Amino acid sequence: MKYLIFLSLLFFACQPKEKDASIEGKWEYVKMETYNPAEPINLQDSMVNVLHESQKGMTFWFDNKNFKATFKRPDGSTEPMGEQPYELAKDRKTVILNNTGRADDKFPIIELSDSILKINIFYSDKAYMVFKRMD
């Protein structure tokens, strides 16, 4: 029995660890979500709906150390919103946009997986944005 427990522990200890999902890549806005699942986003509220509609087609690109944001115009073309250096905090829970001449912007990451990025760029305690990986 002692050997069985030892072998089980050895087996689980030798299993490869899941690597952390990378933020690098292209992400497209999907929707907004609330921190409280019992209170879903109310798209019937005209202000909330305007915000949601204006974010459709928004993309974020994270490469080695550069962040780019674009939005889609009504004619289908894309327009740059901005580009700047960024860093991912060591704990992987914050994206830091490095600004010149003012404090850096720090956006909490709610979830990061291979396919989903949930990030709070509103500085809101109620809602955040959900992006899906495009590449």
106 beta partners: 96
Q: What is the pLDDT of residue 18?
A: 52
Number of domains the chain is built from: 1
Residue 4 lies in a domain: no
Residue 8 lies in a domain: no
- pTM tops 0.85, yes or no: no
Q: What is the pLDDT of residue 17?
A: 47
C-alpha dihedral sign at 53, 33, 57, 92? positive
For residue 48, what is the domain's CATH number?
2.40.128.280
**Which residues neighbour 33 within 8 Å (Cβ) at sequence distance 6 or greater?**
40, 41, 118, 127, 128, 130
Residue 59 lies in a domain: yes
63 is in which domain, residue-wise? Answer: 21-133
Q: What is the pLDDT of residue 135?
A: 80
Asked if residue 32 has pLDDT above 50, the reply is yes
Asked if residue 25 has pLDDT above 70, the reply is yes
Alpha carbon distances (Å) from 21 to 33, 35, 82, 114: 21, 22, 24, 5
Q: Which of 12-16, 52-56, 79-83, 130-134 has the lowest mean pLDDT?
A: 12-16
Q: What is the pLDDT of residue 74?
A: 84
**Which residues neighbour 134 within 8 Å (Cβ) at sequence distance 6 or greater?**
25, 26, 27, 28, 59
Residue 51 lies in a domain: yes
Residue 3 lies in a domain: no
Mean pLDDT across 81-89: 96
